[in-house]
Structure formats: C-alpha cells, structure tokens
Amino acid sequence: MEMVVKDSKINFDYYDNKSNFCLVFLHGWGQNIAMIEPLAKPFLKKYSCLLIDLPGFGKSPEPPFAWTLNDYAEMINILVKKLKLKDLIIVGHSFGGKVALVYALNYEAKKLILLASPYTKKIKKPTLKMRFYKFVKNTPGLKVFENFVKNKVGSVDYRNASPLMRNILVKHINQDLVDDLPNIKIPVLLVWGTNDNAVSYEDAKKLEKILPNAGLVTYEGATHYAYLERLHQTVMIINSFIGSD
C-alpha cells in the first residue's frame, strides 16, 4: 500500500483484524519492512498490524528535506489518523525505537516495545581519524579532499547513506531525549542483548530507570538484533506484555 504523507510517499502494509488496538512496527536504520516482518508475522492474523517503510528506506523514497525524528513521528501520526487507527502499541527496533519514543512524547500511544533503541547523544573522545578529518576541513588548501576523507572516517551507516540521509542520520544521533523521557508514563517493554555493540546494555539499564513504567528483558549473549536471535521468546514476551488488551 502507498499513501502520500507530508509530501512524502509512504509504503506500508496494513492488516485490519478489527482488534481493540493496532501494533505499529518500525524498523531500524538502513532496513525496511522485511527486517521487522519476522517479528510481526505471528501477530498479523490476530491483531491489527501496521508495518511502515520509513521514508528513505525500503520502498519509501527519501523525504523532501532532511527530516528530524519529530518529522518521522508526525508522519506516523498523520498516517494512523488517515487509516483511523487508535490505541497504538508501537514496536520499534533501533532507529525505529527512537522514533517511537519521540512519537510517545508528542502523540497518544497505549504501550511501547523498544528493541535496542538509542535515546541519548553519545559524547566520544575524537578518534585520530576524526581529528584528521577536522584538520582537512579547516585547512583551506585541503578542503577539496573533505568529502573524500568524510567518506573514509564515517560509520558504515554514514558512508552508505546519500547526502540527504546523512543529514538525517546526524540529526538523529545528535537528538538527546533523556530530559524528556520521564514524561512517558505508558508501559514500556525493553528488549536488549548483553552483547549489543550499537546501543549498549548499560544504556538499556539506564533507560529502564529513566522511564517511569518500564521493564527490561535481557538476552545473554545476544547482539543488536536480539529480537531476531531470540525470535520465538520475543514473540511470547510481547504476547504477555500485550496481556488481555
């Protein structure tokens, strides 16, 4: 299915099962519906489910300008209103989880399920590569090499992204939600692997303390994709979290 929202064409799959709520699945950075579908599949015939290719990924083209996380959340809000969906339970992995947090801060949701979701800006000591990049950037005679060096020192996600999506990625990374998160009062389920190298398990434990109504499920030895590595267990846990709703 497709719909134009905020001047951006959105690709999505919607399963209307007339349930009392709708599960909304949001994938991570550089991914698409296919990556979150294995988790959604057990719920498709039981509950109403919405799976979205976030703009810039999958079959949804890049947005018309460098969206912030608030723009992504606004797009979802407009889409669910057009589809007349209520009582949302939002399931987000990584980048999708951070979008889910921003959504919950600005719009109504029933519950959140966050799978290795970032939420705070990481301040790291500049690496030798980054110091070299800044040297090139700030030296007039070397600025011609700036883009070349930038492509070499950035993260894999950054290097693989278009200029527009790089801008979005930088905005996403730099948006810190810590001060606002205590305002999310709804139940939140956190699912994390102890070997997550993208969003650390220490961050997960901190997030559990920051959110007023959160519980953390720990997968020993699992990575940033713990929800797939322990798929059957994750499905059972989500079913329990949904409860009798």
pLDDT at 132 over 90: no
Give the span between the Cα atoms of 109 and 107, in whole angstroms. 7
**Distances from the Cα of 78 to the Cαs of 111, 173, 176, in angstroms?**
19, 24, 24
Q: Which domains does the chain have, with CATH numbers?
A: 2-121+176-242 (3.40.50.1820), 124-174 (no CATH)
For residue 126, the model assigns a pLDDT of 45
Going by C-alpha positions, the residue among 48, 118, 52 that lies closest to residue 88 is 48
Cβ neighbours, 10 Å, residue 53: 23
For residue 122, the model assigns a pLDDT of 72
pLDDT at 213 over 70: yes
- pLDDT-derived band at 137, boundaries 50, 70, 90: low
Which pTM was predicted? Answer: 0.87
> Chain centroid to CA 212: how far?
20
